[in-house]
Amino acid sequence: MAKKIMHRGKAHKERVSEASVPIIEVRNLKKTYWNGNVEIPAVRSVDLTVEKGDFLAIMGHSGSGKSTLMNLLAFLDVPTSGTYKFGGESIENFDDDYLADLRNATIGFVFQQFHLLPRTSALDNVRLPLQYAGVSKQEQIERAVEALKVVGLADRMDHKPNELSGGQQQRVSIARALVNNPMLIFCDEPTGNLDSTTSHEIMEMLTALHDEGKTIIMVTHEDDVAAYAQKIIRMKDGVMV
């Protein structure tokens, strides 16, 4: 029997999940893009600490660097300089594959555009992260059904995205964010594509998850959405204000 390849993200999660240190601790974080020879500082210098159980909103106008900050915090991008400790362990200089494993094991994503696979059932969409976690098919389905129950869509799991309303699609993507039991849930403008009633429902759902102890970081430019959060930080020209 081939020895199972170690999932480095899972190992990292196991090491840090019980530690009594902040879940995120960044110091002097910088991210610079280059457009030809022109330097574009997206994030200039950010110091930030996120504790377990926080519900944090990052606010700012477009171009303020809030999305770049979220991408850095969510391991979707690597900083140009600065330190990042995740659960007390430094994550600088990790390769793409390690970061992919880390995202897979510790992070759930909720996007403005939902990003559900078209012509694919809600159940299959929700169990997608588990496919990359090396979980057996049976367990994938059990856990996906469980996550769909949490968001109240257990009766719609065979529906495809085009057969669901916008609010339902966002609930499917919340279920997908929950299915791997993440340490952090990142929401990028989670209500940006929804009407106000549905937005309220989605925010209530995120609040409920926070009440259960989930740590949530949300990017938004709407004050009434940010108001659901416990803490708000504002970004302007790449720095926190």
Partner 1 sequence: MTMIFVYIQTALKQLLKNKGRSVLTMLGIIIGIGSVIFILTIGQAAKGFLLGQITKFGTNVIEVAPAGSFGPFGGSDEAQLTEADVKAVQESSLLPEITGISAGDSSVSRTLAYQDQTVQVSIFADRPEVFSVNNYKNKGGRFFNNSDMQNNARVIVIGEGLAKDLFDTTDNAIGKEVKLGDSLFTVIGISEDSSLGPNSFGSELVYAPLSTIRQLFIDQDKQKDVTFMLVQFEQGTNVDSFKNRLSYVITENHAYFKENPDQLTVVSREQALSIFTAILVGIQAFISAVAAISLMVGGIGIMNIMLVTVKERTKEIGLRKAIGAKNASILIQFLVESVVLTTIGGLIGVALGLSLSGLAVLTANILQPDWGVQFVVVPSAILLACGTAAIVGLIFGIYPAYKASRLHPIEALRYE
Residue numbers at the binding site for partner 1 (CB under 8 A):
2, 9, 71, 76-77, 96-97, 100-101, 103-105, 109, 111, 113, 115, 117, 119-120, 128-129, 131-133, 137, 176, 180
Is the Cβ of residue 97 or residue 195 nearer to partner 1 in the bound state? 97
Q: How far is the CB of 192 from partner 1 (least distance, A)?
A: 13
Is the Cβ of residue 117 or residue 241 nearer to partner 1 in the bound state? 117
DSSP 140-154: HHHHHHHHHHHTT-G
Is the Cβ of residue 103 or residue 171 nearer to partner 1 in the bound state? 103
Is the Cβ of residue 173 or residue 199 nearer to partner 1 in the bound state? 173
Rounded-to-10 torsion of CA 214, 220, 224, 230 = 30
Is the Cβ of residue 113 or residue 230 nearer to partner 1 in the bound state? 113
Q: How far is the CB of 69 from partner 1 (least distance, A)?
A: 12
Residue 73 Cα distances to 16, 25, 107, 166, 216, angstroms: 16, 10, 10, 27, 12
Is the Cβ of residue 64 or residue 104 nearer to partner 1 in the bound state? 104
Q: How far is the CB of 180 from partner 1 (least distance, A)?
A: 8
Cβ atoms of 185 and 209 closer than 8 Å: yes
- Taking phi first (over 0 means left), then psi (-120 to 50 degrees means alpha), and beta for anything else, what does residue 213 get? left
Tell me the two tokens of residue 237: 């020209």
Q: How far is the CB of 115 from partner 1 (least distance, A)?
A: 4
Instruction: Give Cβ neighbours of residue 167 (< 8 Å, ≥ 6 apart).
Output: 194, 198, 201, 202
Q: How far is the CB of 231 from partner 1 (least distance, A)?
A: 24
Instruction: Give Cβ neighbours of residue 94 (< 8 Å, ≥ 6 apart).
Output: 78, 102
Q: How far is the CB of 100 from partner 1 (least distance, A)?
A: 5
Is the Cβ of residue 176 or residue 210 nearer to partner 1 in the bound state? 176
Cβ atoms of 192 and 110 closer than 8 Å: no
Q: How far is the CB of 208 from partner 1 (least distance, A)?
A: 22
H or E stretch including 198?
helix 196-211
For residue 81, the cross-strand partners are 30
